[in-house]
Amino acid sequence: MNLAEALHLELPTAVAITGGGGKTTTLRTLGEQLSGKVWESTTTHLGTDQLDIAEHHFRVEDVDQPSVSAWLQYRTCLLTGDFTPDDRVHGPTETQMAAIYQAACEHRVSLVLEAEGSRSRPLKAPGINEPATPAWSRVV
């Protein structure tokens, strides 16, 4: 049995992954195992060394029809925000993430998010504003 089957996810789904270790691996694994199209993202940040977890990486500027059409060309894609000077990439803004969720629902695409940053540490205590889990997440 694979992870997607073990979680008994109803597809398409919206999953937020939290915790101190294994989030990016879980993000990659669910992207590979879920059937149908999967958009992967983060509500916090990812290291630039983690941008290969999907077939294609898009830096989100607008969530408009041309952008969504481009994302739909791939079975899995990673959607992020801007790069930082310290080898990280932010997630899309809260407004962009809400629009991404709406587009995912409209096109029956699963959305899998890393919803907490631990900078590759195996254990961490959540900050006061963590985890950064969207209200529309179906599974945390």
The 10s digit of each residue's pLDDT in 3-22 is: 888 888 889 999 988 877 78
Spatial contact of 28 and 112, defined as CB atoms under 8 Å apart = no
Q: What is the pLDDT of residue 85?
A: 94
Q: What is the pLDDT of residue 23?
A: 86
Handedness of CA 70, 34, 134, 51 (dihedral sign): negative
The verdict on residue 136 lying in a domain is: no
The verdict on residue 137 lying in a domain is: no
The boundaries of the domain holding residue 29 are 3-114
The 10s digit of each residue's pLDDT in 77-103 is: 999 999 999 999 999 999 999 999 999
The verdict on residue 139 lying in a domain is: no
Kindly write down the DSSP assignment for every residue of 34-62, as one continuous string: SSS-EEEEESSEEEGGGTTSSSEEEE-S-
Q: What is the pLDDT of residue 115?
A: 85
Kindly write down the DSSP assignment for every residue of 63-77, as one continuous string: -SHHHHHHHTTSSEE
Distances in Å between the Cα of 52 and the Cα atoms of 35, 49, 94 are 19, 7, 23
pLDDT, greater one: 95 or 131: 95
Please tell me the total number of residues recorded for the chain in this structure.
140
Q: Give the span between the Cα atoms of 25 and 21, in whole angstroms.
A: 9
Range in 44-48, 78-82, 106-110, 122-126 with the lowest mean pLDDT: 122-126
pLDDT at 137 over 90: no
The verdict on residue 108 lying in a domain is: yes
The 10s digit of each residue's pLDDT in 18-73 is: 877 788 899 999 999 999 999 999 998 899 999 999 999 999 999 999 999 999 99
pLDDT band of residue 140 (cuts 50, 70, 90) is: low
pLDDT, greater one: 126 or 112: 112
Q: Looking up tokens 């983690």, which residue turns up?
A: 50
The verdict on residue 80 lying in a domain is: yes
Amino acid at 34: L
Q: Domains in the chain: how many in total?
A: 1
The verdict on residue 121 lying in a domain is: no
Q: Give the span between the Cα atoms of 10 and 117, in whole angstroms.
A: 26
